[in-house]
Amino acid sequence: MRWTRTLIPTLREDPQDAEIDSHKLMLRAGLIRKLSGGLYIFMPLGLRALKKVEAIVREEMDRAGALEILMPALQPAELWEKTGRLTTMGPGMFKLKDRQDRLLALGPTHEEVVTDLITREINSYRQLPCTVYQIQTKFRDEIRPRFGLMRAKEFIMKDAYSFDTSADAADISYQAMYDAYARLFTRCGLRVKPVEADTGAIGGKWSHEFMVMADSGEDAVIECTACSYAANVEKAERAVTVPAPCTACPVVEPVATPNTRTIEAVAAFLKVPAARIVKTVIFTADSKPVAALVPGDREVNEHKLLRILGAKTLERADDATVARVTGAPVGYAGPIGLTIPIYADQALENACDIIAGANAADTHLLHVCIGRDARVTAFCDLVNACEDDICPRCAKPLRLTRGIEVGHVFKLGTKYTEAFDSRYLNEAGKAEIMIMGCYGIGVTRTLQAIIEQCHDANGIVWPASVAPYAVALLSLDPKDESVRTAVANLERQLESNGIDVLVDDRDDRPGVKFKDADLVGFPFRVVVGAKSLAKGCVELKRRSGGDSELIPIETAAVRIGQAVAEARAALNPVSAN
């Protein structure tokens, strides 16, 4: 392909509304253009790179035995009613009506559609296991679309769904997808970290997120400084050393704490660290009040509390409920004397001589001993893990870091198959519920994550497997006939060897071409100029670094072809076998 025959609108300056490097670079390198908030157009180079990512995803899904299908984006709302998600998906799901006044969803995901399909098409254990996938456009009405393709209203996902006869079989399907994810991200040139994750609104029991670690990531991740433990901050656990039960506790003593409705205010007033105070938060879980106790320097993790309670809904109690339950205005709740269920963080077990609200206005209690003074229903993990907490696996310090979620694997269990009564006949002819898993990859997000991880001050540094073109062939003297001929020959030789090459044939200064080649980030840059050509040579340089080298024009196609093949093979754990 010739630069003058395609459309690569590179920009000299950073676009104003792009916040993170990868977003700026996608715009500057002419890979995408914004249509409006959260909606992007893929330009020729961007689409080429996207198709390469898609091809890698597809190959690894096929290798894992998953079957490619394609489901509609428009979905009848009735299907979503079956699982209750027409409501629980909330305003993030686009909905519209057709001429027949039927409500349709514009699919943000496809659990309902695929479960309905499999329920109709699979009826025997002989047809299981079955994993299907699609690479398809998804829609989400984001409150605040941002960071380019990272959080868009319309994006491409690979979503896969497994159906199995048993939990053990489902584990095998899950592991096959997990392994495929590890392979395919590696092949895309990405370093990813699988982290344990919460299952959120999609339901299910267990999941891993594949994170590209990056300061610009939207997800907080806790990882161990020593072992491989890593988890989404909502899911992360910590080890806690419970002190021995106390023996000689001082007597509880009320203290006046006027106008101290927050932990910070109490800590300042009493001149104690926040960790010495118990934070008591009243929630309404499935319309019933419960209390959660955590150390004063921590926040309650509502996902964990919800899971512990086994509740469907959980929200902070309103002021009236707090007043009714504690007998005091908001800000003075404490565990002593409460008659509602009390769940305390594990760090509070055997906590002694601490400070708590008195369930009375403007008053706190000193010398509280949790075991002696409060009727705790259960001690459990109720808070987010933090920097410097202790790893639950190896007891070394944890650290807080950030990541971009590019993939997600879930064990869903029977949440959807029960809603659709998805049964197969087992060997004994008995109808049993199928066990399900689901597996997503943000394909467009992955493309941008590659750039976020692979760039430098001059532009993108594409991995050879996903670069829009492997080679940029710069014609420095396009008016010189010997240069033109050499460029055309080399282009033809490379293309016939299956190397994709973009010839910069613009009538422009060499500096412009060098800068654009670096900005777009082609893995290999080959320069053909009249001066070196007179010596029978062209110049080869890798975008990833190292000096340029002069190579003889006669063997240039072979040398470049080898270099590209090596760079691609280095990213492919499968071809190495």
What residues make contact with its own copies under the rule CB under 8 A? 4-7, 9, 33, 35-37, 39-44, 47, 50, 65, 67-76, 91, 94-96, 98-100, 106, 113, 116-117, 120-122, 126-127, 130, 132, 137, 139, 141, 143, 153-154
CB of 106 to its own copies, least distance (A): 7
Residue 331: count of CB within 10 angstroms of its CB: 19
Residue with smaller CB distance to its own copies, 79 or 290: 79
CB of 100 to its own copies, least distance (A): 8
Closest CA to 326 of 371, 360, 290: 360
- The secondary structure of residue 123, as a DSSP letter, is -
CB of 178 to its own copies, least distance (A): 20
Residue with smaller CB distance to its own copies, 65 or 371: 65
- The secondary structure of residue 389, as a DSSP letter, is P
CA 310 and chain centroid, separation: 26
Residue with smaller CB distance to its own copies, 34 or 261: 34
What is the spatial distance between Cα 524 and Cα 464, in angstroms, rounded to a whole number?
A: 9
Residue with smaller CB distance to its own copies, 132 or 472: 132
What is the spatial distance between Cα 26 and Cα 449, in angstroms, rounded to a whole number?
A: 11
Residue with smaller CB distance to its own copies, 190 or 443: 443
Closest CA to 108 of 155, 177, 51, 70: 155
User: What token pair was written down for 315?
Assistant: 């929200």
Contact 246, 252 (CB under 8 A): no
User: What token pair was written down for 425?
Assistant: 């006949």
CB of 64 to its own copies, least distance (A): 12
Contact 211, 192 (CB under 8 A): yes
Residue with smaller CB distance to its own copies, 14 or 508: 508
CB of 95 to its own copies, least distance (A): 7
CB of 292 to its own copies, least distance (A): 31
Residue with smaller CB distance to its own copies, 92 or 245: 92
Residue with smaller CB distance to its own copies, 17 or 387: 17
CB of 43 to its own copies, least distance (A): 6
Question: Apex CA 452: angle with CA 451 and CA 453, to 5°?
Answer: 90
Give the helix/strand (H/E) hosting 78: helix 77-83
CB of 36 to its own copies, least distance (A): 5
Give the burial class of 513: count Cβ atoms within 10 A of its Cβ; 0-12 exposed, 13-18 middle, 19 or more buried. Answer: buried
- The secondary structure of residue 317, as a DSSP letter, is P
